[in-house]
Chain A
Amino acid sequence: MNYIENILASASGLRSVRAGSFVEAKCDVILMNDITGPLAVKQFLSAGRKIKNPKSVVIVCDHFTPNKDIKSAENVKFLRDFAKKYKVNFYESPTGVEHVVLPEKGIVTSGDVVIGADSHTCTYGAIGAFATGVGSTDVTYAMLTGKIWFKIPEVFEFEYDGKRGKFVTGKDLILYTIGKIGVNGANYMAMKFSGSVISQLPMDERFTMCNMAIEAGGKAGFVVPDEKTRKYIEGRGKRKSRFFKDGESFKKMKINVTGLDPVVAVPHRPDKIRRARDMNRVKIDQAVIGSCTNGRISDFAQAAKILKGSKVKRGIRAIILPGSQKVYQQALEKGYIEIFLKSGCIIAPATCGPCLGGHMGVLANEEVAVSTTNRNFVGRMGATGSRVYLASPYVAAASAVAGRIISPEQL
């Protein structure tokens, strides 16, 4: 059995399982947010039963927080009151964005089965969890029973070797990969990231890669835990980490990264990949650096490296969106916040904010943004006629200085 089959066999109390079979697995963490949570909780309340394991339930209010309007404030209040009454884990501003916060606090750890009513729940595969996005009704079901049904996914392995360029990050690797296989190239599958490039890749960039597995249709993304994973996990959570054996993948693709350039995904699909250096004619109005995809400390280190001593071009809104309050604090201590302020950036609180067109950086018709977030669908960041280009923090920061999309080498 491979890594995914081993986790799911264990969680289902079965000696062996294989890709394609249906199981009912015990959930270690059941996650919801301020968009998907109210529906899940209302359904739970109307069932009139107990939560099977309140400790496993985690609510993170991050999408429209600090609350953007009365409706979102009412939703968060509803969830806050529910959490208090039913003794489940609850976080809201200033804590931060769910997929940054859960690994950071050790709420999720290696070997866990995690379901989240948020499609980017797949992020936690970076620390060896089986984590997948579901809807509100699945969350209600799991709250009631402690379990959820899964079809065991096939594993599609991506093995990265070669020499990674100076400005080529985990974001470039995942965008390039989605470009190769398409937005449904891994539909229903678990994407495994391996090879010498992944062994050397920092944890923050592994999170970025797993985060975007869903953009290729993936059910999960994961890296088999290694020394880096163990070092990251150590001392964070209270629950025991588990490390499972890996085996054969169903499908494998080898990717040589030597000579690969920083890339961007052009509107309106994450699989439309171009070299950043070829995009100079695209003028931008906004740059967003942060989110559950690229809102960790090393992402801001990359942005700070570019912005140090430089100015954001006049008329461009460069928005720094820390993934968590803790990341914000780290960025302050490391001097990045000062660099961002001096260069003319806007520093936002830790929120999903503009990524999904919520608030704090919504685009008008015909406006263009370069963003380190995960989706560039029609209307994703605002008006139907706005356009989003997805990129790494290096590319987004360099583009903010240039006022058009460029590769950092061109600065």
Chain B
Amino acid sequence: MKNKIKGKTYVVGDSIDTDVIIPARYLTTDKPAELAAHCMEDLDRDFRKKIKKGDIIVAGENFGCGSSREHAPIAIKASGISAVVAKSFARIFFRNAINIGLPVFVSEARNGTKTGDLIEINVSAGEIKNLSGKKTYKTQPFPAFLKKIISAGGLLKSLKK
């Protein structure tokens, strides 16, 4: 993972579930590009048009609740999203994101951030700066056990090392 992740934000609310991240009707494929084409469409028809490569999703509580489909973080990653920052994550989504190498951060950044703000995540410093709103937030540190998986770039990559 890069130490600094900078991008424009796309802000969502609480309990964004995996059925809206990628509806089950598209789960006959696991090809990232095909999944990305339908990412978030039940929440926002224009999600794909609005998102530029490197953008960051900023969410409220319980992001990714629901199904265990890894297709959800895959769809987000393949959409070009560089990281997801949420007040809290649903357990399986959090695990899946780390396993596939989608950067995820627990932080209160949703408070005071609006869609289109430019933010910068400093991974090693555990800090998120809202460059548009001039506010700074802390990110929750990862346990040492997870740091190993994250630095390897995912679970299976950690096994090969």
Interface residues of chain A, those whose CB is within 8 Å of chain B, are 22, 35-36, 38-39, 42-43, 47, 63-64, 69, 71-72, 75, 116-119, 121, 133-138, 140-141, 144-145, 149, 151, 183-184, 187-188, 214, 217, 219, 269, 356-358, 375, 377-380, 384
Contact = CB atoms under 8 A, between A and B. Distances in A.
B92 A379 contact: no
Contacts of B90: 184, 187, 217
A217 B61 CA distance: 11
11 contacts: A119-B67, A121-B68, A135-B95, A137-B155, A138-B96, A184-B15, A357-B23, A358-B25, A375-B17, A378-B17, A380-B24
Nearest to A137: B99
Given A72-B28, A379-B42, A183 B99 contact: no
B113 to A, nearest CB: 20
Interface residues of B, number: 36
A278 to B, nearest CB: 24
B19 interface: yes
A133 B68 contact: yes
B66 A42 contact: no
A114 B159 CA distance: 21
B156 A140 contact: yes
A75 B71 CA distance: 15
Interface of B: 15, 17, 19-20, 23-25, 27-30, 42-43, 61-62, 65-71, 88, 90-92, 95-96, 99-100, 143, 145, 154-156, 159
Nearest to B143: A22
A149 B146 CA distance: 10
A-B pairs with lowest CB-CB distance, top 3: A71-B28, A135-B96, A135-B70
A121 B92 CA distance: 12
A35 B42 contact: no
A35 B155 contact: no
B67 A134 contact: no
Contacts of A358: 24-25
A119 B43 contact: no
A119 B156 contact: no
B143 A269 contact: no
A137 B43 contact: no
A380 to B, nearest CB: 5
Most B CB within 10 A of own CB, among A144, A149, A219: A149
Given A184-B62, A217-B62, A141 B68 contact: no
Contacts of B156: 43, 47, 137, 140-141
B105 to A, nearest CB: 16
